[in-house]
């Protein structure tokens, strides 16, 4: 009997050219596909929720695959973890209906972007946070973040080369908080355009630096011009935190 | 005029076979020596404070070298940082007397050992903390830690192969605290035997797991038998925090 297995996947994106399978390139999906094939004894397609970019990390990406394997669905993650490298870990596995899709309508995903403020570069933090020498104005950043919530045309926050059909997305929550010397930008949305979270983070960082004001955000969104938003921050500060599904 | 320059050095030990220079091996001292040689235009010997082991991290190791370079001592760190890879960063530089030695009498050094408690392995944390699936008893660990303070013969906490002449060391402070899901063991001492901090951490972890009691520590120290102490925990959880010097 064919079953659909859902996996929650955590990985360190440092060594990978992103999630998506590409022949001859080290990708998370590629490594996972080999492990699933070895565990289940058959080639199978994997459907991932989020195609994270090169260097981006995930605490809870989601993927499914179909199999006739006798391995109990809720034990599958343990079998896979024995076959996976240290920088990919399956958090859990379960059976879902055969028509369940990880990018199905109504799902919400949350990303965090981490920036650390320090007078010196700290090597042990370089892989998991973006560094700034400056003290950012976190309150003003949080106020600016509020303007991103709601349904907007996010053309100004989309990198060139996007294959999106529509640039309208809904952001359910966007906030900025401080934890020690770290500034954490949190964004929950229905979906995101290419590099959208990293451009939002770059724009909020400009607010934190005093180069833009919180009140500038609505006009930047309305302009639909990429050049009015801030820079795309580097991938190492970005974490896909996880998905929520309706029901 | 020959000057002695002191450096405070922070590094990610992941890629290095430890601090100490070895021909043909990637070590922190080796990489630093090349950078100093390039910056000052001459070969020079570097004297490091702590010869950290392979995989161990440092936030504030200390080293000195002598040079006739016209680069101002307090600007030297900026010149070196341009020549160093991302995983090594010089925090500061200054001039010290020509007879100043980074391992001089009366210095105190502090190490931390980080353990994270989680029902699942989290890949983005694997390089900077040791993982346990278990909930550790942090209060009991902290009580156990107190028994390490003072002057003791630490033969039971020294790995085989040590070239130490005497096994007596003074520990000024040893404590265990919790930060979120992380347990942080902090030890300040006059100096440490080979693997001593990682064996203390392994012993305290056994206390946290309930396999040993806090009150067992004095007898373990007194036994002078390595087999009575806990295991040597892996290097990735260990951070050399820094040095304090008298005066």
Instruction: State yes or no: pLDDT of A116 exceeds 80.
Output: yes
pLDDT at B246: 82
- Identify which of A12, A92, A121 has the shortest CB distance to residue B123: A12
Q: Indicate the CATH number of B3-96 among 3.90.1010.10, 3.30.420.40, 3.30.70.580, 3.90.1150.10.
A: 3.30.70.580
pLDDT of residue B73: 97
Q: Which H helix or E strand runs over A172?
A: strand A168-179
List per-residue pLDDT tens for chain B, 247 residues long: 899 999 999 999 999 999 999 999 999 999 999 999 999 998 889 999 999 999 999 999 999 999 999 999 999 999 999 999 999 999 999 999 999 999 887 899 999 999 999 999 999 999 999 999 999 999 999 999 999 999 999 999 998 877 778 999 999 999 999 999 999 999 999 999 999 999 999 999 999 999 999 999 999 999 999 999 999 999 999 999 999 998 6
Closest to B192 in 3D by CA, of B227, B148, B231: B148
Residue A155: the pLDDT is 96
Which tens digit of pLDDT belongs to each residue from A36-83?
A: 999 999 888 999 999 999 999 999 999 999 999 999 999 999 999 999
Q: How many CB atoms lie within 10 A of CB A26?
A: 12
Q: What is the ipTM of this complex?
A: 0.91
The predicted structure's pLDDT at residue B163: 78
pTM: 0.93
Q: Which residue of A has its CA nearest to B87?
A: A123
Residues of B (144-183) whose Cβ lies below 8 Å from A? none
Task: Provide the pLDDT for residue B164.
Answer: 78
Inter-chain CB proximity B126 and A86 less than 8 Å: yes
Classified by CATH at the fold level, domain B107-245 comes out as: Alpha-Beta Plaits (3.30.70)
> What does the DSSP 8-state code read for residue A117?
E
Domains B3-96 and B107-245 share a fold: yes
pLDDT at B247: 67
pLDDT in tens, A137-148: 999 999 999 999
Chain A 184-213, residues with CB within 8 Å of chain B CB atoms: none
Assess whether A53 carries a catalytic annotation. Answer: yes
Number of helical (H) and strand (E) elements in chain A, helices listed first: 5, 10
Return the structure tokens found at B193.
């035997």
Q: Which residue of B has its CA nearest to A87?
A: B123
CA distance linking residue A40 with residue A45, whole number of Å: 12
Digit-coded pLDDT (tens) for A9-25? 999 999 999 999 999 99
Question: Which of A79, A59, A46, A58 lies closest to B120 in space, CA to CA?
Answer: A59
| B12: nearest CA partner in chain A | A124
CA-based end-to-end distance of chain B: 26
- A interface mutation test: which of B13, B89, B120 has the most A CBs within 10 A? B120
A contact residues 116-145, partner B, Cβ 8 Å cutoff: 120-124, 126-128
Domain-by-domain residue ranges, chain B?
A: 3-96, 107-245
* Burial class, A149, CB count within 10 angstroms (exposed 0-12 / middle 13-18 / buried 19+): middle
């Amino acid at each position: 009997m064919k079953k659909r297995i859902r996996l929650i996947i955590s990985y360190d994106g440092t060594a990978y050219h992103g999630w998506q399978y590409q022949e001859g390139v080290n990708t998370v999906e590629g490594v996972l596909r080999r492990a699933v094939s070895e565990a289940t004894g058959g080639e199978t397609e994997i459907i991932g929720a989020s195609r994270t970019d090169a260097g981006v990390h995930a605490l809870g990406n989601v993927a499914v695959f179909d199999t006739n394997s006798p391995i109990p669905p809720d034990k599958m993650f343990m079998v896979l973890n024995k076959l996976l490298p240290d920088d990919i870990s399956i958090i859990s596995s379960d059976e879902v209906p055969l028509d369940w899709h990880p990018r199905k309508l109504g799902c919400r995903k949350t990303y965090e972007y981490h920036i650390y403020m320090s007078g010196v570069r700290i090597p042990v933090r370089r892989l998991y946070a973006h560094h700034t020498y400056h003290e950012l104005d976190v309150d003003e950043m949080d106020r600016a973040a509020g303007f991103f919530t709601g349904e907007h045309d996010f053309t100004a926050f989309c990198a060139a080369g996007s294959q999106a059909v529509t640039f309208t997305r809904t952001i359910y929550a966007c906030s900025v908080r401080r934890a020690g010397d770290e500034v954490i930008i949190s964004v929950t949305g229905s979906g995101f355009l290419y590099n959208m979270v990293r451009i939002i983070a770059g724009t909020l960082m400009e607010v934190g630096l005093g180069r833009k004001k919180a009140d500038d955000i609505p006009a930047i969104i309305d302009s639909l011009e990429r050049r009015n938003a801030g820079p795309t921050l580097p991938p190492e500060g970005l974490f896909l935190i996880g998905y929520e599904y309706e029901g």
